[in-house]
């Protein structure tokens, strides 16, 4: 696919909100999502001439977004980075009561803290299957692994998160 500036602008407008939401779920509501988003679309622009149409454009863009997110997570390592409070609020129902919003903020902070302890490949497999609701096969296509590998990664992440939840409830 050969895309000029106008076609790329249309593609960007069609895909940016979905990529932003995906990055939020993969990386968490962190301040550097904007940088990662720019990297995703830079790579999309560079890869467009090689796009053969084997998958939809949305799948093509999501695959690039997942790979950029994995690289970013690997670079960040297993450390929690500060969440952006405004971005955290984007994940919470705006119609919720103040008490419900505070509880949701606390729960999301705990979830992203636990996810920070999971290595990048397992975290992404977990998010794609448990949060995004993708099948093992669809998640495998996005990450470039077998469905069995994605299943094992997601299960390992689930076990770690369950262990952390159990530790929290014991306190």
- Domain with residue 27: its CATH number is 1.10.1740.10
Burial status of residue 118 (CB atoms within 10 A of its CB: 0-12, 13-18, 19 or more): buried
41 is a domain residue: yes
56 is a domain residue: yes
- Maximum alpha-carbon separation in the chain: 57
Domain count, the chain: 1
User: How high is the pLDDT of residue 167?
Assistant: 87
9 is a domain residue: yes
Global pTM? 0.85
Q: How confident is the model at residue 44 (pLDDT cuts 50, 70, 90)?
A: very high
115-134 residue pLDDT tens: 888 999 999 999 999 999 99
Cα–Cα distance for residue pair 100/155, rounded to 1 Å: 30
1 is a domain residue: yes
130 is a domain residue: no
19 is a domain residue: yes
The domain in which residue 52 lies consists of 1-77+79-84
């Amino acid at each position: 696919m050969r895309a000029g500036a106008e076609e790329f602008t249309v593609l960007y407008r069609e895909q940016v909100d979905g990529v932003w939401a995906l990055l939020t779920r993969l990386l968490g509501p962190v301040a550097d999502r904007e940088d990662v988003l720019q990297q995703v679309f830079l790579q999309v622009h560079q890869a467009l001439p090689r796009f053969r149409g084997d998958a939809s454009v949305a799948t093509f863009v999501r695959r690039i977004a997942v790979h950029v997110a994995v690289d970013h997570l690997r670079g960040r390592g297993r450390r929690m980075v500060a969440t952006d409070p405004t971005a955290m609020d984007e994940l919470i129902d705006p119609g919720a009561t103040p008490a419900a919003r505070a509880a949701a903020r606390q729960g999301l902070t705990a979830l992203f803290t636990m996810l920070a302890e999971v290595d990048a490949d397992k975290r992404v497999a977990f998010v794609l299957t448990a949060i995004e609701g993708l099948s093992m096969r669809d998640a495998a296509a996005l990450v470039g692994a077998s469905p069995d590998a994605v299943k094992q990664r997601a299960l390992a992440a689930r076990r770690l998160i369950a262990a952390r939840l159990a530790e929290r409830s014991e306190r």
